[in-house]
Amino acid sequence: MAKSRNNLLGVGGQRKKLSRAEQQGAGSARGADRKAAEDKKQELVRKMRERAEAQADTTAAAEPGEQDASPAQS
């Protein structure tokens, strides 16, 4: 049997250090920062999708126009 069987130090993991504001129930600024970062990311993804769709529409619209214009010029 192990000598330190009754010594359970570290078995439950470590607890997060709480700031004074968190101890008083003010909440975490970290959570608000994560929410803001997630909102920025979602906005960026939305903008990128809109640009990709606009570029795809422009490319698709230009292809048939180029094919029609080529025989007319010849």
Tokens linked to 61: 């619209």
Indicate whether 5 pLDDT > 70.
no
Indicate whether 3 pLDDT > 70.
no
pLDDT (tens digit per residue) in 25-72: 776 677 788 889 999 999 999 999 999 999 998 888 877 655 555 555
pLDDT (tens digit per residue) in 20-38: 877 777 766 777 888 899 9
pLDDT: is 50 or 74 the higher one?
A: 50
Do 28 and 22 contact (CB within 8 A), yes or no? Answer: yes
